[in-house]
């Protein structure tokens, strides 16, 4: 089973939101109810290293790679244990 990236993973949402394979892998923050919510970028992927980023994040990655947050593939998925 292929590992997927997971977004918005925290104590109250331990499984997070699985990666959408059509979309840019960058994790972005939205101002939500009383704080910030983390989610996968909603733009289509196709640019940047391995074609995993949208145009906006590919440019950001080229300029300042460390300013971009991309979750690791989760290979320690509890569902597989
Ligand atoms: Zn993006």
CB atoms within 10 A of CB 40: 23
> What pLDDT is recorded for position 80?
45
Tens digit of pLDDT for each residue in 26-76? Answer: 999 888 777 778 899 999 999 999 999 999 999 999 999 999 999 988 665
Query: What span, in angstroms and rounded, lies between the C-alpha atoms of 80 and 77?
Result: 6
Interval between CA 34 and ligand 1 midpoint (Å): 24
Q: Does the pLDDT at position 79 exceed 60?
A: no
At 81, the pLDDT band (50, 70, 90 cuts) reads very low
Coil, strand or helix at 29: strand
Interval between CA 74 and ligand 1 midpoint (Å): 20
Q: Across residues 20-24, what is the average pLDDT? A: 96
> What pLDDT is recorded for position 2?
64
Secondary structure element (H or E) that encloses residue 14, with its range: none
Query: What span, in angstroms and rounded, lies between the C-alpha atoms of 5 and 67?
Result: 18
């Amino acid at each position: 089973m292929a590992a997927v990236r997971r977004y918005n993973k925290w104590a109250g949402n331990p499984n997070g939101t699985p990666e959408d394979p059509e979309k840019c892998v960058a994790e972005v923050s939205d101002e939500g109810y009383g704080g910030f919510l983390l989610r996968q970028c909603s733009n289509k992927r196709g640019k940047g290293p391995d074609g995993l980023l949208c145009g906006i994040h590919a440019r950001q990655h080229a300029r300042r790679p460390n300013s971009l947050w991309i979750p690791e593939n989760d290979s320690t998925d509890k569902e597989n244990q």
